[in-house]
Amino acid sequence: MQRIGHAVQRKVWSSAKYQGILPLMLINKMKIVLLTGMVLCGLVALYPKGTPAGSGPEYTSDDQLKFPEHYREWVYLTSGFDMSYNPAMNMDHHMFDNVFVNPEAYKTFVETGTWPDKTMLVLEARKAQSKGSINKAGNYQDGDVMGVEVHVKDEARFAGKWAFFGFDEAKTAKMVPTTASCYSCHAEHAAVDTTFVQFYPTLLPIAQAKGTLSPAYQKENGPKSPTTDDTAEKPKSQR
């Protein structure tokens, strides 16, 4: 039966009536292959392998930073609770903050212990709640975002290489003036490249191992001088 089928097929394709069908099918297949290749090439160009869309800083024509819409798809670094660098700060509510970084920057930090150009660190602030569902103690994060701050490294754009931007409900934000205290605070106390890596538990050991901790941080957090009790002669049983 298979042989008969082949014989019939050869007769059909060789007949004058169907001579134009095979070339036409081949041409259509070639068109489909070419179009598919063009689409795939376009997608690769738009979204390089391993790089989520919009993971680097983007600006408007008047130098405002565009809100990083997909930051929650980035690498999570840490969360803080009621943290403040100002001793006079007195809030009437509890707060959580969550920190994310773009994947390319995270990968480079793991490899080198420092941040590459185009790094974006996003701090997301959420109000803390204590009463809800079955919770009886402690706090959990509220669903509403109270604010977002972005710390951007763009060496060609900013004189100090880094800049801060604060977002509320807008999709763009102006750069925080360099006279703001956040710049001097980060310069004087940050563990790595003006960033508070000392509060990122998975990254601090990497910076320590790579030797990238800032001199200011090391001086501020160096080993304590031994006390009189530590240096006093102790009985052998206590040594």
For 79-136, write each residue's pLDDT tens digit: 998 788 776 667 778 888 999 999 999 999 999 999 999 999 999 999 898 899 999 8
Q: Count CB atoms within 10 A of the CB of residue 147.
A: 14
- Tell me which of 39 and 71 has the higher pLDDT: 71
The number of angstroms, rounded, from the C-alpha of 224 to the middle of its chain's C-alpha atoms is 35
Which pTM does this prediction carry? Answer: 0.70
**Within the chain, where are the H helices?**
2-14, 21-46, 103-112, 181-189, 204-210, 215-220, 228-231
For residues 44-63, average pLDDT: 68
For 17-32, write each residue's pLDDT tens digit: 445 554 555 555 555 5
**Cβ contacts of 64 within 8 Å, gap of 6 or more:** 172, 173, 174, 175
Out of 37-46, 47-56, 93-102, least confident range: 37-46
184 pLDDT exceeds 90?
yes
* Dihedral sign, Cα of residue 205, residue 208, residue 212, residue 217: positive
Residue with tokens 């969550």: 98
